[in-house]
């Protein structure tokens, strides 16, 4: 496990994100509720740069008395990111796909120390050709 200093605490305002490379791994760093959350920038669908997608509050579709769509609104707290390749949508706080709990972003540990944000990257396992 290797640790990398990636930002100062004040570099990201509430609700902002930054994508960077640390230890050869692309990472998306988000600030929500005053804390830092990091995910690998690889969509579990087909590997797209999910952390470079758009951020917005979760949309709640509302049905009328007949069951037909009657409008929509934005959730007060839930914030999602949408993968720019095919539109898969993930809760930024949990990394879980909003439509399927089977798809999840890969977490990256964050640590706030001395006013700086650090991430911990697991050492990659080298795979030989088996020869």
Query: Which residue's CB is nearer to ligand FES, number 103 or number 116?
Result: 103
Query: Which residue's CB is nearer to ligand FES, number 83 or number 121?
Result: 83
Residue 104 interacts with ligand FES (CB under 6 A): yes or no: no
* Pair of tokens at residue 62: 């509302």
Least separation in angstroms between residue 35's CB and ligand FES is 25
| 3-state class (DSSP) for residue 11 | helix
Residue 13's Cα: distance from chain center in Å? 16
Compose the 24-63 pattern: x for residues touching ligand FES by CB under 6 A, - for all others.
-------------------x-xxxx-x-------------
* Pair of tokens at residue 110: 């964050």
Question: 27: Cβ–Cβ under 8 A, 6 or more apart, which residues?
Answer: 6, 19, 20, 21, 38, 39, 40, 41, 51, 108, 119
Binds ligand FES (CB under 6 A): choice among 25, 29, 51, 88: 88
Least separation in angstroms between residue 44's CB and ligand FES is 8
Question: 5: Cβ–Cβ under 8 A, 6 or more apart, which residues?
Answer: 116, 117, 118
Could you tell me which stretch among 13-21, 26-34, 54-62, 83-91 binds ligand FES (CB under 6 A)? 83-91
Q: Which residues bind ligand FES (CB under 6 A)?
A: 43, 45-48, 50, 83, 85-88
């Amino acid at each position: 496990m290797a640790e990398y200093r990636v930002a100062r605490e004040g570099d990201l305002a509430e609700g902002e994100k930054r994508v960077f490379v640390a230890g050869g791994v692309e990472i998306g760093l988000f600030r929500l509720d005053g804390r830092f959350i990091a995910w690998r920038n690889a969509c579990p669908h087909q590997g797209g740069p999910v952390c470079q997608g758009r951020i917005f509050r979760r949309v709640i579709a509302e049905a009328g008395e007949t069951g037909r769509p009657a409008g929509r609104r934005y959730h007060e707290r839930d914030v999602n990111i949408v993968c720019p390749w095919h539109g898969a949508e993930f809760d930024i706080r949990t990394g879980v796909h909003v439509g399927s709990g089977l798809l999840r972003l890969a977490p990256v540990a964050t640590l706030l120390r001395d006013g700086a944000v650090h991430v911990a990257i697991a050492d990659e396992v080298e795979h030989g050709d088996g020869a």
